[in-house]
Structure 1
Amino acid sequence: MSVHKDITKHSSKQNQLVQQFMILDEHRERAIDEAVQLCLNEQPFTTDAINQVTNEINVLARQGVVPQRKLVTIEMVKEYAAKLNEPGCS
């Protein structure tokens, strides 16, 4: 019975990490979208909020259950925004 409890506890912890990851990843995507929109509107922006969430995700990733995410640079946002402005992109 002890093994069953240990497995259940382990699975529960992994599930909790995945749930946290999904919430943080959603926040990261929203922060990226905001930065891209500011860039497209030629407004000043930073990647601070994106990278704060990215760092939180990477702390979770060190526990081996969820993937790491790359830090985002201003240049990366500008390149992505430029691609969105190309003809044929929507």
Structure 2
Amino acid sequence: MSVHQDISKHSNDQHERVRLFSELDQKREQLIEKALGKCKEEKPFEQELNEINKVTDEINDIARKGIVPQRKNVTKEMVEEYCKRN
């Protein structure tokens, strides 16, 4: 492969990582909002936590390849604490 093709491939790979990260991060935020809503209504939100952390794991897999940041897994205590403050 030529240097130009290598650079193009590298650039395309990075662009795809950023695109996928953006998509997953948005999905993660929506799931967090859903969990917060259930917590405020004093309903169980364990399923949402599982989904949040599954998406978080996908994000972190992408982040390990570079360019995008990692995200922390969300715990039940984190959601409950946030609900109490807001």
Higher share in helix = 2
| Gapped regions of structure 2 (runs ≥ 5) | none
Q: CA deviation at 1:5?
A: 1.3
Q: Deviations over 1:25-64 (max 9, x none)?
A: 0010001000000000111111111100000001001101
Moved over 4 A (4+): none
2:76 and 2:4 map into 1 onto residues whose CA distance is 48
Structure label with greater radius of gyration? 1
Identity of matched residues, %? 52
Question: Which residue in 2 is equivalent to 1:14?
Answer: 14
1:28 aligns with 2:28: yes
Question: Which residue in 1 is equivalent to 2:61?
Answer: 59
SS in 2 for 1:44: coil
TM-score (structure 2 length as normaliser): 0.93
Q: Show the 5 A alignment for 1:36-51.
A: 36-46=36-46, 47-51=49-53
Instruction: Letter of the 1:34 partner, please give it.
Output: K
TM-score (structure 1 length as normaliser): 0.89
Q: CA deviation at 1:66?
A: 0.9
Question: Which residue in 2 is equivalent to 1:79?
Answer: 81
Q: CA deviation at 1:73?
A: 0.2
SS in 2 for 1:71: coil
